[in-house]
Amino acid sequence: MYAHRCLKQFHSLSRWSYLRRLQSTSTKVAFDSCGIPLKPTWSVNDLLSSYPRPTITPSTLKRLHELSALIPPADGTPEHRKLTQEMEGLVKLVEAVKLVDTSGVVEEAHGEAVPDGRIWAAGTGIELDCCSPQVTEGDRDRELLRHAARVMDGLYVVDADKPRN
């Protein structure tokens, strides 16, 4: 229900946000000889400032820590307030990204909707093929599990119910 209410607020603000960005981009921008702007033309903080800030309750923050087998900071401490603000900022960013309309994005030949936008020198970069023939997903999983403190039935074990000190 909270997500639905926030989503309605996001949609009402997204048109205003778009008009504000359109207005701000109509100003003259200085470029260097390569066509790169000399100053930033937009910022994530400016974009997100038009969206309402979600609220994470202390019980939600505690539950997130329990699910990840971490010890939460004590309620009311500066660490708790800082972590809550950071988590609210992350939720705000995720909600804003979820609002991006990708329905008009044309798929490439490889079936990827959004191309890799990184620029690499010829012959360098990362392997973009998701499945290399010599290494399977199962091999990668087993290799990663070798670093785990506890494994059971091929899964990493988190002692979430173990008493904490």
Report, as ranges of residue numbers, the positions in the chain whose pLDDT lies below 70: 1-27, 105-118, 125-138, 161-165
Report how far apart the first and last C-alpha atoms of the chain are (Å, whole number): 36
Query: What was the pLDDT predicted at 78?
Result: 96
* One-letter amino acid of 113: A
The reported pLDDT for the residue numbered 165 is 57
What integer pLDDT is reported at residue 12 of this predicted model?
47
The Cα 139–Cα 55 span in angstroms is: 41
- At a CB cut-off of 8 Å and minimum separation 6, what does 67 contact? 160
d(CA 8, CA 14): 10
Integer Cα distance of 3 and 54 in angstroms: 9
For 108, residues 6+ apart whose C-beta sits below 8 A from its C-beta are 115
